[in-house]
Amino acid sequence: SNDELQQRIDKVRQQLGSRLLILGHHYQQDEVIALADLSGDSYQLSQMAAASADCRYIAFCGVHFMAETADILANRPEKLAERHGERVQVVLPDLAAGCSMADMAGIRQIESAWDQLAEVIDTEDITPVTYINSAASLKAFVGRHGGIVCTSSNAKAALEWAFARTSRVMFFPDQHLGRNTATGMGIPLEQMPVWDPYADELGGSTEEQIQTSRVILWKGHCSVHQMFRPEHVALARKNHPGIKILVHPECPREVFELADESGSTGKIIKTVEAAPPGTKWSIGTELHLVNRLKQQHPEQEIHFLSPVVCMCATMYRIDLAHLAWSLENLAVGTPVNIIEVDEETSKWSLVALERMLEVQ
């Protein structure tokens, strides 16, 4: 039962004390969030892992790329020196907790795209920007090529940083976050070709389209946020006059443009918290977060934007059973599901991640 699992988890927490830090992303299930020491959006979780003062283990209740990022930041050279070389071990309670968006851009595909681009434009004049929802190998690529990592909370600042450096940007893997952010900066859609890694050549664009581009987007998306449609916005407005539409920028442009407000999961929470009682919201982001907001804010009227369930199946894989199992193994010295990024990849990813932490 959940009670039993909670007791098992508490026992390990008592045993490991401040050596254990449990981090939880806002999309986690309520019972997992209730047990997390700290919870946040992707940017906040990166900051927490980077700060991780005296802990030796981070149990990451989120998805694979987040655990990789935590490993890189918690074990960066200055932190390792402070701990006299002792590493923080990052555990992902279920290794099957991946991210389908991150899987839409493989390092070979990115390298091949870059090589093809080099045949038609000067790649010295492109800054690669990777959304944090990507494998560490992509972050390392970006670090090596003068680029930056962004999250949904600092995508605009990251793009501005990139445009101060070069006249073009290549943004992967989420086409929606890239397009929504760049559109908001006044870049016309005609200057944003979408690179399809499965196209025969030049990602499916013409040479001219690439030469006149400002932002080269990648054909990737979030399977959860992609499900929100403009007709859901119309229905919400029809059924609940005066309702405000609040969405995550991973939603398609047609939805994003109809929304009243948008932002990362952290910003969505803050926006609801700051609203006066009686405010009516229709929220377009992962179901668990929306349901939690509904429970925490009975003084407001909160609806889920889609009539169908939009849930992140991989975030959902982290449950109390996996958490208890992985923590107990840590406690007895037989760690399982450790996420450790190799040294070379960590080194270059860190370059791009540190830039991200600076531009917020």
Q: Contact with ligand 13P (CB under 6 A): which of 133, 154, 180, 279?
A: 133
* Of residues 98 and 335, the one with the C-beta less far from ligand SF4: 98
Q: Contact with ligand 13P (CB under 6 A): which of 8, 26, 168, 221?
A: 26
Q: Contact with ligand SF4 (CB under 6 A): which of 315, 331, 339, 350?
A: 315
Q: Is residue 101 within the footprint of ligand SF4 (CB under 6 A)?
A: yes
The residue count for binding ligand 13P (CB under 6 A) is 14
- What is the identity of the amino acid at 14? Q
- Asked whether 228 and 310 are in contact (CB, 8 A), the reply is yes
Residue 25, annotated as binding a ligand? yes
Q: Is residue 174 within the footprint of ligand 13P (CB under 6 A)?
A: no
**Site track for ligand 13P across 94-123, x = CB under 6 A:** -----x------------------------
Q: How far apart are CA 100 and CA 139, in angstroms?
A: 17
Strand partners, 40: 25
Q: Is residue 180 within the footprint of ligand 13P (CB under 6 A)?
A: no
Residue 310, annotated as binding a ligand? no
* Of residues 114 and 316, the one with the C-beta less far from ligand SF4: 316
Q: How far apart are CA 260 and CA 202, in angstroms?
A: 36
Strands 38-40 and 20-25, by their bridges, are parallel
Strand partners, 171: 129, 217
Q: State both tokens at 162.
A: 């990139």
Distance in Å, CB of 201 to ligand 13P, minimum = 31
Q: Which residues from 33-92 bind ligand SF4, rule CB under 6 A?
A: 63
Q: Contact with ligand 13P (CB under 6 A): which of 8, 21, 24, 41?
A: 41
- Asked whether 345 and 134 are in contact (CB, 8 A), the reply is no
Q: Which residues from 200-229 bind ligand 13P, rule CB under 6 A?
A: 222
Question: Strands, DSSP E only, in 189-319?
Answer: 194-195, 215-218, 244-247, 261-262, 280-284, 301-304
Q: Is residue 68 within the footprint of ligand 13P (CB under 6 A)?
A: no
- Long-range interactions of 155-159: CB distance < 8 A, separation 24+: 155/131, 155/181, 155/249, 156/181, 156/184, 156/185, 157/359, 157/360, 158/129, 158/356, 158/359, 159/129, 159/185, 159/215
Residue 251, annotated as binding a ligand? no
List of residues contacting ligand 13P (CB under 6 A)? 26, 41-43, 99, 133, 151-153, 222, 248, 250, 264-265
List of residues contacting ligand SF4 (CB under 6 A)? 27, 63, 99-101, 133, 222-224, 286, 312, 314-315
